[in-house]
Amino acid sequence: MNGTVERVSASPGHTMAKENRPEVRLMAGLGVHGDVHMGATVKHRSRARRQGTRPNLRQVHLIHGELHDELRAAGFSVTPGQMGENITTRRVDLLGLPTGTTLRIGDEAVIEVTGLRNPCAQLDGIQPGLMEAVLTRDERNNLVRKAGVMAVVLVGGEVRSGDAVLVELPPPPHRPLRPV
């Protein structure tokens, strides 16, 4: 289940798209240096008003590059960083990971997966219908959110395109990801 980093992105402002960069620096307990969502407490605008003093479980947003492939095949024009992710991966089943999985990225960085990203209507600002395209139903009619996962930074470090992503599952019993 190990993979690679396809692209890294960050944005200092509250924009959906994040600018692709040669590298990003992950800061322990805070998130992506220079990104608007960096901080120990909730930074997402709609959540900060209600939960501003709660721990920030959304320090790093990851999307699997295979989702971009799927969306392009469905007629959408999406690129890494455009859907708000900081790290775009390849060959890591992000949505299948249990809560508490650690990802060792590059030479130093370690992050812990906290939950699913709950997609928002801002995705339709990229292209109409995009939000609906990242939501589906499973065989039991349960809602499936495909817009990536969120994580916190345990150990800081530089992350670049091409870096290895090593997956370390938590001890059982595994808890499925839930929106955070």
What H or E segment, with its residue span, contains residue 103?
strand 102-105
**CB neighbourhood size of 173 (10 A):** 6
Return the structure tokens found at 85: 């992710």
Q: Which residue has the tokens 């605008």?
A: 45
Q: What is the value of pTM for the model shown?
A: 0.94
Q: Which residues is 111 bridged to in the sheet?
A: 103, 153
Domains for the chain: give ranges and CATH numbers. 3-168 (2.40.33.20)
Residue 26 · residue 32 · CB < 8 Å = yes
What H or E segment, with its residue span, contains residue 129?
none
pLDDT of 145 reads 97
- Segment 21-31 shows an average pLDDT of 98
- Segment 83-96 shows an average pLDDT of 97
pLDDT of 53 reads 79
Taken in order 61, 65, 70, 76, is the CA torsion positive or negative? positive
- Segment 39-46 shows an average pLDDT of 76
pLDDT of 51 reads 60
